[in-house]
């Protein structure tokens, strides 16, 4: 899977992070901590019959990840394409803070990175999105560090 990633700039005249695309092997349908400076995963998500609702996928970090970008998206289980959350867009929030390491990008229908973060062991990222009772998705996320 490929995602947008923000990388610290080495150019003092342009200190804003550089945006690039990194591709890694698509994770299995579970949490995969990958290497020491990344965490990726896929979660099967089904709507609850009779109720449209907001879903929360909580991702605890078992190790620190420095210089990290966070991305996520929903993939339809019947067709291989990115699906839009219907009642609430995909947003990632660092639990216990107001920090949103990824926010919904309407054009690409993904949770795109908002900055570069240094996560600590035990941090939890809560991804929220809305879905209908009849929907079934695979939810993919990437937390990739640069260190």
- CATH number of 102's domain: 2.60.120
Number of domains present in the structure of the chain: 1
Read off the tokens for 53.
């609702």
Is 34 within a domain?
Answer: no
Is 53 within a domain?
Answer: yes
Beta bridge partners of 51: 48
**CB-count burial class (<10 Å; 0-12, 13-18, 19+) for 69:** buried
Is 109 within a domain?
Answer: yes
Q: What does each of the 147 residues of the chain score in pLDDT, given as a tens digit? A: 666 666 665 656 655 666 666 666 666 656 656 667 888 888 888 877 766 678 889 999 988 999 899 999 888 766 555 555 555 688 999 999 999 999 988 877 889 999 999 999 999 999 998 887 777 888 889 998 885
Is 99 within a domain?
Answer: yes
H/E stretch holding 142: strand 136-144
CA distance 143 to 39: 5
Is 57 within a domain?
Answer: yes
The pTM of this model reads 0.80
Domain that holds residue 95: 2-9+40-144
Is 29 within a domain?
Answer: no
Read off the tokens for 35.
């290497």
């Amino acid at each position: 899977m490929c995602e947008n990633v923000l990388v610290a700039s080495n150019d003092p005249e342009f200190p804003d992070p550089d945006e690039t695309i990194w591709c890694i092997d698509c994770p299995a349908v579970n949490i995969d901590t990958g290497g020491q400076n990344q965490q990726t995963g896929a979660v099967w998500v089904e709507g609850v019959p009779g109720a449209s609702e907001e879903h929360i996928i909580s991702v605890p970090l078992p190790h620190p990840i420095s210089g990290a970008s966070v991305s996520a998206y929903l993939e339809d289980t019947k067709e291989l394409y990115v699906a839009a959350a219907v009642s609430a867009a995909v947003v990632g929030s660092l639990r216990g803070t107001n920090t949103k390491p990824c926010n919904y990008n309407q054009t690409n229908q993904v949770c795109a990175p908002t900055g570069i973060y240094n996560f600590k062991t035990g941090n939890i990222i809560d991804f929220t999105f809305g879905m209908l009772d009849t929907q079934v998705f695979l939810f993919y996320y990437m937390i990739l560090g640069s260190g």
